[in-house]
Structure 1
Amino acid sequence: MQLILDGVTLARKNWKLSAEGAFQEGIHLISGRVGSGKSSLAQAIAGMMAPTSGSILFRDIERHTLSMQFPEYHTTGHLVRDEIRSWGLEPERICMEAGLQGREYERSFALSRGELKRLHMSCILAGKRDLLILDEPFSTLDPEWKRRICRKLYSHHPPITLIFTHEQAVLPRVDYLWEIHEGHLHNRGKVPEAIPSWRGAPRYIEEALRRGVVPENITVEDTQEALCRMHD
């Protein structure tokens, strides 16, 4: 199973992004500044927009979907239970996973944006797909729910999972690091070997690297553990 970007370029007016590389099975974090082109690349991979040039190839990938940053874009059910059923899921179970127990009959758009995001993420992570494309999956979530989503992503994720984000505080354990920098998608490689070359690393990782420590993965907990081992 593989996703291949073959000489892909995305362009509009004075902006251009070039992307080349192959995504193997695993969790891939694609970081980059706001406006660097993360959402555009995510949409192109999902087939929502055609690349200016190049090809996006799916090998042995039959089912894929995109989760956009704002959950309102996905919401079609008038009531919470209707929204959950539109995903082919059981309302009571998903409400429990999303922290919305007993709220199945509330209007979907009466939920706060954070609650709606929790509902959306619980629905999309309950499905079975070969490729899952997540554009800013942690936006509007409080730190505790970010951590919950991170744990769920790590323990139960589709074969190829792409996480496009500029999140700098709460991140999941991942297998590969990619980075959009100066108009190009860069493959930093497999974790943990890729961590020292990650230009947009969070400050806690930068501090560990400054002390000569490379954590096993990119979470705060991995970094704290690595720093503690240094003092043992």
Structure 2
Amino acid sequence: MSDNLSEPQIILKDLILKRDGFTLLANGVFEKGVHLITGKIGCGKTTLSMALAGYLRQESGLIECKNIEKTLLSMQFPEYHLTGLTLEDEIKSWGLSSDEILDKSELCGYGKTDPMKMSRGELKRLHLVCILSKRKDLLILDEPFSTLSPMWKERFCNNLAIQEGITIIFTHEQTYFPKTDYIWDIDSGELNYIGHVPECLDSWKSAPEYIKTALKKGVLPKNIRFEDTLEAICRMQD
């Protein structure tokens, strides 16, 4: 645990969440860095993301936030976030420059377009560019990779590497990952802390197949990205 009392931190104590007929129990501490939370579809990832963002009341237990002034939640479907009648209006609602964000999103020329006439993938990348451009102490991302093309998944992962504060990613993605500090898993109605990367990889049951294959060969990647695994295997062969 960090000794810096000024750094952001989230503490979960006997947290119990109930939604749509299931119950989720969570204990643990989230510190500065990138946290990846995996689990099967329907296990409670979205429920926990909403609770951590303050949009869902717990049945019991405690969510204690320290040194967190600004929290941003990215929901799976980008249309849930829409407030503007055009892409320009939507970007301005974030307090950002429409020209700059449209350029970064590769959507130049669509500023006057109705957001609902864009594809979900286009809306997703616009939303993610906006949310990564804002200051925040806590960033919660629920299935951020859904509807993104492989190229944009990779770009998004690279941009996450320069974020400050706490980043929590809820996903069942199995191919594209950012550099990650901590891994968690939701299984049988409980949030489990797997550990710090890379030491915890042997215990990560939901690890992608390329990591499992590397571990079977006796290779421990430095991180969870595919390129980390490839580098580790090549290093072993040398």
TM-score (norm 1): 0.97
Paired residues of 2:9 and 2:67 also in contact (CA < 8 A): yes
Equivalences for 1:1-232 in 2 at 5 Å? 1-12=8-19, 14-154=21-161, 156-232=162-238
How many residues align? The count is 231
Partner AA of 1:172 in structure 2: P
Which whole-Å deviations, capped at 9, do the CAs of 1:181-214 have from their partners, x for residues lacking one? Answer: 1111111111111111101000111111111111
Note the C-alpha offset of 1:53: 1.0
Distance 1:94 1:75 in 2: 15
Tell me the residue number matched to 2:4. none
> Matched residues in 1 for 2:21 and 2:50: separation?
19
* Partner SS state of residue 157, structure 1: coil
Q: How many angstroms does 1:158 deviate by?
A: 3.1
The answer to whether the 8 A contact 1:132-1:158 is kept is: no
**For residues 62-120 of structure 1, what are the alpha-carbon distances to aligned partners after superposition, in whole Å with 9 as ceiling and x for unaligned?**
11021000000001111000000000000011011111112211111111000000000
Check the 8 A contact 1:176/1:190 in 2, yes or no: yes
After TM superposition, what 4+ stretches of structure 1 lie above 4 angstroms from structure 2? none
Deviates more, 1:204-213 or 1:9-18: 9-18
Indicate the larger mover: 103-112 or 17-26: 103-112
Unaligned runs of 5+ in 1: none
Structure 2 counterpart of 1:164, one-letter code = F
CA apart distance, 1:14: 4.3
- Aligned counterparts of 1:194 and 1:128: Cα–Cα separation in 2: 30
Aligned AA for 1:95? L
Q: Which runs of 5+ in 2 are unaligned?
A: 1-7
How large is the RMSD of aligned CA atoms in angstroms? Answer: 0.9
Question: Using the alignment, how far apart are the partners of 2:129 and 2:121 within structure 1?
Answer: 12
Percent pairwise identity: 51
Q: Distance in 2 between matches of 1:12 and 1:136?
A: 18
- Cα deviation 1:18-60 (Å, max 9, x = unaligned): 1000001000001111011000000011111111110111001
Using the TM superposition, give the Cα deviation of residue 12 of structure 1 relative to its aligned residue in structure 2, in angstroms. Answer: 3.9
Distance 1:26 1:161 in 2: 6
Distance 2:222 2:140 in 1: 24
